[in-house]
Amino acid sequence: MRVIAINRSEEKFARERRQDLQKVHKNLDPSLHPYEKAVEYTRALNAAKLDRVFAKPFVAAFTHDDGITCLARNLHHLNGLVSGCADGNIHLWDVPARRCLRKLVGHTGPVKGLAVTPDGDAVVSCSTDCSVRLFRLPFAPFAPGPVQDAAGAVLEFQGRHAFRGVDHHWTASKFATAGAQVDVWDHERSEPVSSFAWGADTVTAVRFNPADSELLASAASDRAVALYDLRNAAPVRKLVMQTRTNAIAWNPMEPMNLTLASEDCNLYTYDMRRLQSALCVHKDFTSAVMDVDYSPTGREFVAGSYDRSLRIFGHTGGRSREVYHTARMQRVFAARFSGDGAYVFSGSDDMNVRVWKAQASAQQGTLLPREKHKQAYQAALVERFRHLPEVRRIERHRHLPAALYKATKVRRAAVDADTRKLKRRKAHSAPGSVEIKPERQKRIVAELE
Amino acid sequence: MVEEAERPAEPPHDAGQAGPSGRKREREKGGPGGRAAKFRRGQAVATHAIPDKKLKAKMRYSERLASEAAHMAAKTDEWLLPSEPGALEVEGMERTWQIQQAALVREAEEGAGRKAFDLALPALGPYALDFTRNGRFLLLGGRRGHIALLDWQRAKLLCEVQVRETLRDVQFLHNDQFFAAAQKKYMYIYDKRGIEVHCLKEHIAARRLDFLPYHFLLTSIGEAGVLWYQDTSTGRIVAQHRTRLGACDVMRHNPWNAVQCLGHVNGTVTMWTPNITTPVVKLLCHKGPVRALAVDLSGRHLVTAGADGQVRVWDVRMYKPRHAYFSHAPVEALDISQRGLLALGHGHTVQVWQDALAEKQQSPYMRQTLASSGLRGLRFCPYEDVLGAGHAGGLSTLLVPGAGEPNYDSRVADPFQTAKARREQEVHALLDKLQPDMIVLDPDSIGQVRKEPAEARAAAAAEAQAANAARRAAAADKADAKKRMKGKNKPSRRAARKKANIIEETKGPMRARVARALPHLQIT
C-alpha cells in the first residue's frame, strides 16, 4: 500500500524567513476561477468608470496680454511652444516649466501666422501690418535659468498687403505666406521668389506637404483649396467647396491626405490625388472650425472651434473621441499637438494658451511596470466589453456646457429636418429628378485642374 | 451501505465524447485530446465563413491569441505546478475500501497523518461544520449552542462561544473574519473573536445557511420555506423567495453558476436565482423527502440523496438523470471534493466514492466507521486531502488521498495567507463583486449578444405592422365620423330649410281637425 496525501510545509510554500517575499502560486485551472466572464465584465465596468473619474485633461494655462491668434511648436525641442498674440507680440514658452522664455516684439498689427524653421533656431511670423519677420529662438533649457528679455526680429520682409498665414518649407530656407496671393520667400531675398494667384482676393492659410516639400496647399476666401507645385511655378489643382476653409493640416504619416477645417462646422479629410470625394467627414462641432493640427503619429488630430471647444478626432473617425472646454475658454483660434503626441495646446480669445492632455485620463509622470500593466489590462477590458450598453454609456459620456449642449441639439434638429425634407422631395418628384449626393460629396462645388 | 442500483431508463449522456475522427484532428491541433483542451474557453469561431475582411482578420487574431493562451496555460500546468495530487495505491487482492484510517495514517507522511483526528465533544452535538475557502480555518456549530472557530491544522482554538440556544447551522462569510450562525429564532453574525456583530431578524428560524463568495450573498432557508438573499457587503436584503414547499433543510449552491439548489420534502429539488421569484429549474428527484445534495465544482453533476434510499447523479446542464446508487439507510450528508470525490454517510458510517459522477462505480473508494453516530455534516477541506465529518460525538477528520486540489492559486485562496494579503484580497474581492442579477443558469451568457430567432423577429414585426394598420384604420374611421359643420349656411341650404318650414298647406285641415276634437278650445 502506498499513500500519497497533500502535505505542504509553510517554509516551502510561503516563505522560509520573515525577510523573504511571500511566494505567489498560480493555478490556471478554469474550475478554480469561476464566473470568469462576469468578473471581467465587472472589471470592465469599473475600468470605464475609473477612466471617467480620472479624466482631468487640463494641465496649465499661459496668460497673454491679448487674444491668441496662432500657435507653432518647435520641431527640434519638445518643450518649445510659440504663440502669437493679437497685440503683435510673440511669446516663446517653456512648456514643462510653465514659464515664458522670451517675448518677441516688433509687429504693429495682430500676428496672423507662425512657423518654426526646420532646424528649430528661428520662427517666421506674419502680421496684418504687411510685414513678415524672422526671430531667433533661444534653446529652452530644462533647468531653470534666467529668462531673457524681449527681443526684436533678425530679418524683416515687407509686403504690399496684409498677411494671413505663413508656413515654412520642411528642408530649404524658404517659406510661403498667404495674403492677397500666395508668396514664396527666401531668407536671403527681400522680395518674394514667386507668387501664385488663382482667382481669390484673400488667401487665409497655407501649408507645405511634409513628404513632397515642394507641394503647397492653400485655402482662400473664394471657398477654394488650391494645390501648388513650386517646381512648376503654377497651380496644380483646386477644390471649391460650399463654405470657406479656415485651416489645413497634412497627415504626417499618410502625406497624401489633408484635413480641412471648414466654416460649416465640419472637417473634411481628402486624398489630394482624388478630390471628387472626401475620405471622411468629421462632425461634432456646432460652429466654424478655426484650426486643425495632426498628432505626429498621424492617427489623430486636434481641432479648435468658434463654439469655444476643442475636439480630438481619430484620423478616420467621423465623430470626435474627446471634447475639451472650460467655463473661461472663449473662441478657440489655434490648436496644436505637442511633439510627443501626449499633449494638445489651444489658444483662445480669452488671452490664454491652454495645455491639455491628449488622453484625458492618462497619468502624468513615469509609470511603474505594474501600473503600466494594469492600465493596459483595463484598456483591453474596456475594449472587449465596449459593445455592452452599460459600458458604452459610461465610456461615451462627455459633459458639455449647457450652451454647447443646446447648440448641438438645435444643429441636429436642423440637419434632421434637411434630410427629411430632401427625402420627401425625392419621394414626391419624378424618379431621377432629385439626386441625393453622398455626405462626402455634398459640400463639393467644383474640382478645377 | 450504498450499492449499485438498476440503471435509469435514460441512457447516460456523455457530452465530453467526440467522434474518433474529430478527436484525432483536434489532437493534432492540441485540441480536446491534448492538454490545452482544459484551458480552452468555448468553441472556436469558424473564421473562414466570415465574409467581412476586417472582421475576419480581427476574429482570426483573437482566435490566435486565445489558442496561444490555452497552450501557454497547458505548458504551465504541465511543468510549473509544484505538487501532484494525492493517491492511494494497493497491491494484489487488497482493495482500497478495506483500508482503515489507522493504517492510512501510519503509512502517510508525518505531516499528512496528523490531519486525521477525532475531536470528542459528546455533550453539545451533533455538529455542523464549515471550512474557509482556503481550507485553513474550521467552524464548528453544535446543536446545543456551541460554536468553535479553529485553525485546525495547527490545532489552535481561535474562539469559542456558547450561545445558550439551539444552533442549526454555521457558515463562514468571505473569509475567516466573520461567520454567520442560524440560531433558534434569528440569524447572527459573529466576528473571529466570537463577538456578536449583527442580529439579522429577517431570517427567522433559519435551518441552513450558505454563502456565495463572489457575490457576497448570504442565503438562508428555514421553517417557513422562505429563501433569503442578503448582501453582506451592503447589508441589503437582495431577494426573498417563498418556495411554498414547506420547511426546508437542504441547501447548497452550484459553484459554477451560483444558483441555489434546495431539496424539499416532496422529493423535488428547486434551483433559484435572486432575480426570479419562481424556481428556474424544478427537478423531481426522489419518491420521498430529499435529505442531502451537492453540486461538483464544474457545475456538471448534481448528486441528491433521498429518504427513499436512492443516491442519484444528475446531469445539471441537460437536467437528465445519469445513474443511481441504492443505500440501505437514507443518506444524511453528502459532499463532493474539488477533484470530484463523492462522500456520503449516515449514522456512523461514511463512504467515499471515486469517479462516481461521470460513470457508475461498483465499489466505494474508501469507507470508515465514525466514533459516534448521528452524522450531521460532511465537508471536504479545500486544497487538502481531508474530509471533515460532524456528528453527535464531535468532529472526525478523515484522510482521503486524492480529494483536494494540490496546487492552490494565491489570488483565489491561499492557505498560508498573511493578514496583509487577506486585506488586499478583501479589497479586490469587493471591487470585483458580482451583482446579484448576474446570477443566471449559464454564466457564459454574460457579455454575449443574444440574437433573436428569425421567427421571433418576424412575429414582432408582424405584430407592430398589424398594430400600425389598426391605428391608421381607427384614425380614418374617426375622421369620417366627424360631424361636419362646413357648408351648413350655404344660400341653397338656407333656401331649402325655409322651404321645408312652410306649413301653409297643412295648416287649414289641421285646424279643422283640432276644432272637431276639442270644440271648447278657441283657436285663433
In B, minimum Cα distance to A23 occurs at B410
Q: Are residues A253 and A306 in the same domain?
A: yes
Q: Are residues A44 and A177 in the same domain?
A: no
Render pLDDT for B424-455 as a digit per residue (tens, 0 to 9): 999 999 999 999 999 999 998 888 877 788 89
Burial class (CB in 10 A: 0-12, 13-18, 19+), A397: exposed
Rounded Cα distance between B140 and B149, Å, is 6
Average pLDDT over residues B227-235: 96
Q: Look up residue B201 and give its three cell numbers.
A: 431578524
Query: Does residue A421 sit within a domain?
Result: no
Q: Where in chain B is the domain with CATH 2.130.10.10?
A: 99-426
Out of A2, A26, A38, the one facing B434 most closely (by C-beta) is A38
DSSP class per residue in A71-105: EEE-SS-TTEEEEEETTS-EEEEETTTTEEEEEE-
Round to the nearest angstrom and report the end-to-end CA distance of chain B. 121
Rounded Cα distance between B352 and B342, Å, is 5
Q: Are residues A78 and A50 in the same domain?
A: no
CA torsion B433→B436→B437→B441, rounded to 10°? 100
In A, minimum Cα distance to B255 occurs at A34
Segment (H or E) for A389? helix A389-396
**List of chain B residues whose C-beta atoms are within 8 Å of the C-beta of residue A1:** 88-91, 94, 99, 103, 107
A35 touches chain B (CB under 8 A): yes
Query: Does residue A424 sit within a domain?
Result: no
Q: Are residues A254 and A382 in the same domain?
A: no
In A, minimum Cα distance to B69 occurs at A28
Please name the residues between 179 and 208 in chain A that touch chain B, using a CB distance below 8 Å: none
CB-based contact B117:B96 (threshold 8 Å):
no
Indicate whether this model's pTM tops 0.80.
Answer: yes
Render pLDDT for B160-196 as a digit per residue (tens, 0 to 9): 999 999 999 999 999 999 999 999 999 999 999 999 9
Query: Does residue A24 sit within a domain?
Result: no
Rounded Cα distance between B149 and B154, Å, is 12
Q: Are residues A74 and A194 in the same domain?
A: yes
Report which residue type is found at A55. Answer: A
Q: Report how far apart, in Å, the C-alpha atoms of B63 and of each of A5, B70, B236 are.
A: 39, 11, 41
Order of strands, edge to edge, in the sheet holding A300-305? A289-294, A300-305, A310-314, A320-324
Query: Does residue A189 sit within a domain?
Result: yes
A39 touches chain B (CB under 8 A): yes
CB–CB of B409 and A27 under 8 A? yes
Average pLDDT over residues B89-98: 92
Interface test with B, best of A2, A21, A35, A50 (most B CBs within 10 A): A35
pLDDT computed for residue B15 by the predictor:
39
Please check the confidence at residue B30 and state whether its pLDDT lies above 60.
Answer: no
pLDDT computed for residue B60 by the predictor:
95
Out of A3, A38, A41, the one facing B104 most closely (by C-beta) is A3
Order of strands, edge to edge, in the sheet holding B250-253? B250-253, B260-263, B268-272, B281-284
pLDDT computed for residue B23 by the predictor:
44
Q: Are residues A274 and A386 in the same domain?
A: no
Strand partners, B191: B178
Render pLDDT for B341-372 as a digit per residue (tens, 0 to 9): 999 999 999 999 999 999 999 999 999 999 99
Render pLDDT for B59-80 as a digit per residue (tens, 0 to 9): 999 999 999 999 999 999 989 9
B441 touches chain A (CB under 8 A): no
Render pLDDT for B126-147 as a digit per residue (tens, 0 to 9): 999 999 999 999 999 999 999 9
A50 touches chain B (CB under 8 A): no
Interface test with B, best of A4, A20, A384, A388 (most B CBs within 10 A): A4
In B, minimum Cα distance to A12 occurs at B82
Query: Does residue A214 sit within a domain?
Result: yes
pLDDT computed for residue B22 by the predictor:
43
Please name the residues between 236 and 255 in chain B that touch chain A, using a CB distance below 8 Å: 255
CB–CB of A39 and B214 under 8 A? yes
CA torsion A37→A40→A42→A44, rounded to 10°? -130
CA distance A3 to chain B (A): 5
In A, minimum Cα distance to B399 occurs at A5
Give the single-character DSSP code of B394: E
Indicate the average pLDDT of chain B: 89
Exposure string over B177-202, b if 16+ CB within 10 A, otherwise e: bbbbbbbeebbbbbbeebeeebebee
Query: Does residue A200 sit within a domain?
Result: yes
Domain count, chain A: 2
With CA atoms as reference, report the closest residue to B403 among B346, B465, B356, B340: B340
Give the single-character DSSP code of A31: G
Rounded Cα distance between B328 and B456, Å, is 51
B65 touches chain A (CB under 8 A): no
Out of A4, A10, A42, the one facing B401 most closely (by C-beta) is A4
Average pLDDT over residues B459-466: 94
**List of chain A residues whose C-beta atoms are within 8 Å of the C-beta of residue B338:** 31
Q: Are residues A259 and A303 in the same domain?
A: yes
Interface test with B, best of A27, A377, A385, A392 (most B CBs within 10 A): A27
B88 touches chain A (CB under 8 A): yes
CB–CB of B432 and A43 under 8 A? yes
pLDDT computed for residue A235 by the predictor:
84
Please check the confidence at residue B237 and state whether its pLDDT lies above 50.
Answer: yes
CA distance B48 to chain A (A): 22
Three-state secondary-structure class, residue B181: strand
Q: In the block, which residue shows the cell 509544484?
A: B82
**List of chain A residues whose C-beta atoms are within 8 Å of the C-beta of residue B447:** 37, 40-41, 385, 388
Percent pLDDT > 90 in chain B is 77
Instruction: State the residue range of the domain holding A38.
Output: 33-55+369-396
With CA atoms as reference, report the closest residue to B342 among B310, B364, B320, B317: B364
Q: Are residues A62 and A47 in the same domain?
A: no
Render pLDDT for B264-318 as a digit per residue (tens, 0 to 9): 999 999 999 999 999 999 999 999 999 999 999 999 999 999 999 999 999 998 9
Long-range contacts of B223-232 (CB under 8 A, 24+ apart): B223/B247, B227/B251, B227/B260, B227/B262, B227/B272, B228/B202, B228/B203, B229/B274, B229/B436, B230/B200, B230/B202, B230/B203, B231/B436, B232/B173, B232/B174, B232/B178, B232/B189
CATH assignment of B99-426, among 2.160.10.10, 2.40.30.130, 3.30.930.10, 2.130.10.10: 2.130.10.10
Q: Are residues A51 and A67 in the same domain?
A: no
The beta strand positions in B24-68, using DSSP E, are none
Provide the phi-psi class of B319: left if phi over 0, else alpha when psi is between -120 and 50, else beta: left
pLDDT mean values, one per 10 residues, chain A (449 residues): 92 90 92 94 96 96 95 90 95 90 92 94 95 86 61 90 95 94 93 86 93 93 92 87 96 96 96 94 96 96 96 95 95 96 96 96 92 95 93 94 95 95 94 90 89
- Residue B403 makes CB contacts below 8 A (sequence gap 6+) with B86, B337, B338, B339, B341, B352, B380, B384, B385, B386, B387
Interface test with A, best of B385, B410, B422, B437 (most A CBs within 10 A): B410
CB–CB of B434 and A35 under 8 A? yes
CB–CB of A25 and B41 under 8 A? no
B107 touches chain A (CB under 8 A): yes
The beta strand positions in A272-342, using DSSP E, are 280-282, 289-294, 300-305, 310-314, 320-324, 332-337
CA distance A8 to chain B (A): 8
Interface test with A, best of B300, B408, B418, B448 (most A CBs within 10 A): B408
Q: Are residues A258 and A382 in the same domain?
A: no
Q: Are residues A48 and A106 in the same domain?
A: no
Query: Does residue A28 sit within a domain?
Result: no
Q: Are residues A41 and A155 in the same domain?
A: no
CB–CB of A37 and B447 under 8 A? yes
**For chains A and B, what is the number of CB pairs under 8 angstroms?**
141
Please name the residues between 371 and 390 in chain A that touch chain B, using a CB distance below 8 Å: 385, 387-388
Longest C-alpha distance within chain A, in Å?
Answer: 108
In B, minimum Cα distance to A38 occurs at B446
pLDDT computed for residue B523 by the predictor:
54
Provide the CATH number for the domain around residue A356. 2.130.10.10
pLDDT-derived band of residue B9, with 50, 70 and 90 as boundaries?
very low
Q: In the block, which residue shows the cell 501664385?
A: A196
pLDDT-derived band of residue B502, with 50, 70 and 90 as boundaries?
low
Please check the confidence at residue B19 and state whether its pLDDT lies above 50.
Answer: no
Rounded Cα distance between B279 and B239, Å, is 13
**List of chain B residues whose C-beta atoms are within 8 Å of the C-beta of residue A13:** 82, 415-416
In B, minimum Cα distance to A382 occurs at B447
